[in-house]
Amino acid sequence: MNIEEYRSYCLSLPGTEEKIPFGPGALVFFVMGKMYALVDLDDFSLINLKCDPLKAIELREEYEFVTPGYHMNKKHWNSIRLDRPVPVKLIKEWTRHSYDLVVAKLPKKDQEALKRISDKSSE
Protein backbone atom coordinates (compact mmCIF):
# COMPACT_ATOMS: atom_id res chain seq x y z
CA MET A 1 0.00 0.00 0.00
CA ASN A 2 1.30 3.45 -0.85
CA ILE A 3 0.23 6.89 0.41
CA GLU A 4 -2.27 7.44 -2.42
CA GLU A 5 -3.97 4.09 -1.83
CA TYR A 6 -4.12 4.79 1.90
CA ARG A 7 -5.47 8.28 1.31
CA SER A 8 -8.17 6.90 -1.02
CA TYR A 9 -9.18 4.31 1.56
CA CYS A 10 -9.50 6.91 4.33
CA LEU A 11 -11.45 9.30 2.11
CA SER A 12 -13.86 6.46 1.27
CA LEU A 13 -14.97 6.36 4.91
CA PRO A 14 -18.09 8.53 5.40
CA GLY A 15 -17.52 12.06 6.63
CA THR A 16 -13.73 11.89 6.34
CA GLU A 17 -11.76 15.05 5.69
CA GLU A 18 -8.02 15.45 5.29
CA LYS A 19 -5.98 18.32 6.69
CA ILE A 20 -2.37 19.23 7.34
CA PRO A 21 -2.69 20.93 10.75
CA PHE A 22 0.78 20.06 12.10
CA GLY A 23 2.91 21.32 9.23
CA PRO A 24 3.79 19.93 5.82
CA GLY A 25 5.11 16.53 6.98
CA ALA A 26 1.93 15.02 8.40
CA LEU A 27 -1.41 14.32 6.72
CA VAL A 28 -4.28 13.89 9.18
CA PHE A 29 -7.67 12.30 8.58
CA PHE A 30 -10.69 13.49 10.55
CA VAL A 31 -14.27 12.34 10.88
CA MET A 32 -16.70 15.07 11.96
CA GLY A 33 -13.73 17.15 13.13
CA LYS A 34 -12.08 14.41 15.21
CA MET A 35 -8.74 12.89 14.25
CA TYR A 36 -8.53 9.16 13.61
CA ALA A 37 -5.36 8.72 11.50
CA LEU A 38 -2.11 10.56 10.96
CA VAL A 39 0.44 9.60 8.31
CA ASP A 40 3.97 10.64 7.53
CA LEU A 41 3.85 12.39 4.16
CA ASP A 42 7.59 12.50 3.55
CA ASP A 43 8.11 8.77 3.02
CA PHE A 44 4.91 7.09 4.26
CA SER A 45 6.88 5.18 6.88
CA LEU A 46 4.41 5.55 9.76
CA ILE A 47 0.67 5.59 10.43
CA ASN A 48 -0.72 6.63 13.82
CA LEU A 49 -4.13 5.15 14.63
CA LYS A 50 -6.45 5.39 17.59
CA CYS A 51 -6.98 2.03 19.28
CA ASP A 52 -8.90 0.51 22.16
CA PRO A 53 -6.35 0.47 25.02
CA LEU A 54 -6.54 -3.30 25.63
CA LYS A 55 -6.38 -4.09 21.93
CA ALA A 56 -3.46 -1.67 21.57
CA ILE A 57 -1.41 -3.71 24.03
CA GLU A 58 -2.34 -6.99 22.33
CA LEU A 59 -1.32 -5.67 18.90
CA ARG A 60 2.02 -4.37 20.22
CA GLU A 61 2.75 -7.79 21.70
CA GLU A 62 1.72 -9.66 18.55
CA TYR A 63 3.28 -7.51 15.81
CA GLU A 64 6.79 -6.08 15.87
CA PHE A 65 5.73 -3.25 13.53
CA VAL A 66 3.08 -1.97 16.00
CA THR A 67 4.45 0.37 18.67
CA PRO A 68 3.01 2.92 21.10
CA GLY A 69 1.79 6.01 19.25
CA TYR A 70 4.66 8.27 18.22
CA HIS A 71 4.03 11.75 19.67
CA MET A 72 0.56 10.60 20.75
CA ASN A 73 -1.17 9.37 23.90
CA LYS A 74 0.48 5.96 24.21
CA LYS A 75 -2.57 4.44 25.89
CA HIS A 76 -4.97 5.27 23.06
CA TRP A 77 -2.79 5.38 19.93
CA ASN A 78 -0.58 2.92 18.07
CA SER A 79 2.00 3.59 15.41
CA ILE A 80 2.22 1.20 12.50
CA ARG A 81 5.78 1.20 11.19
CA LEU A 82 5.80 0.63 7.46
CA ASP A 83 9.53 -0.09 7.20
CA ARG A 84 8.52 -3.76 7.37
CA PRO A 85 5.93 -5.60 5.29
CA VAL A 86 2.49 -4.94 6.77
CA PRO A 87 -0.53 -6.70 5.23
CA VAL A 88 -2.88 -4.21 3.57
CA LYS A 89 -5.81 -6.07 5.14
CA LEU A 90 -4.47 -5.22 8.63
CA ILE A 91 -3.85 -1.58 7.76
CA LYS A 92 -7.44 -1.23 6.55
CA GLU A 93 -8.85 -3.18 9.51
CA TRP A 94 -6.96 -1.08 12.06
CA THR A 95 -7.80 2.17 10.26
CA ARG A 96 -11.49 1.22 10.31
CA HIS A 97 -11.21 0.35 14.02
CA SER A 98 -9.76 3.81 14.67
CA TYR A 99 -12.50 5.48 12.63
CA ASP A 100 -15.22 3.47 14.41
CA LEU A 101 -13.81 4.34 17.85
CA VAL A 102 -13.94 8.03 17.03
CA VAL A 103 -17.45 7.80 15.58
CA ALA A 104 -18.69 5.97 18.69
CA LYS A 105 -17.51 8.88 20.87
CA LEU A 106 -19.16 11.59 18.75
CA PRO A 107 -22.20 13.38 20.14
CA LYS A 108 -25.47 11.79 19.00
CA LYS A 109 -26.28 14.73 16.69
CA ASP A 110 -22.94 14.27 14.90
CA GLN A 111 -23.49 10.51 14.66
CA GLU A 112 -26.91 11.16 13.11
CA ALA A 113 -25.42 13.67 10.65
CA LEU A 114 -22.77 11.13 9.71
CA LYS A 115 -25.45 8.48 9.18
CA ARG A 116 -27.25 10.85 6.79
CA ILE A 117 -23.98 11.35 4.89
CA SER A 118 -23.48 7.58 4.73
CA ASP A 119 -27.03 6.99 3.55
CA LYS A 120 -26.70 9.59 0.79
CA SER A 121 -23.41 8.13 -0.46
CA SER A 122 -24.90 4.64 -0.66
CA GLU A 123 -27.88 5.75 -2.81
pLDDT tens sequence across 91-112: 999 999 999 999 999 999 999 9
CATH of the domain at 103: 3.90.1150.30
Burial (CB < 10 A; 0-12, 13-18, 19+), residue 41, is middle
Per the structure, the complete domain to which residue 24 belongs is given by 3-121
Number of folded domains that form the chain: 1
What distance in Å separates the CA atoms of residue 110 and residue 52, rounded to the nearest whole number? 21
Separation of alpha carbons 5 and 110, rounded Å: 27
For the cut 70, the answer to whether the pLDDT of residue 30 exceeds it is yes
Q: What is the CA radius of gyration of the chain?
A: 14
pLDDT by residue (tens digit) across 41-85?
A: 888 999 999 999 999 999 999 999 999 988 887 889 999 999 889
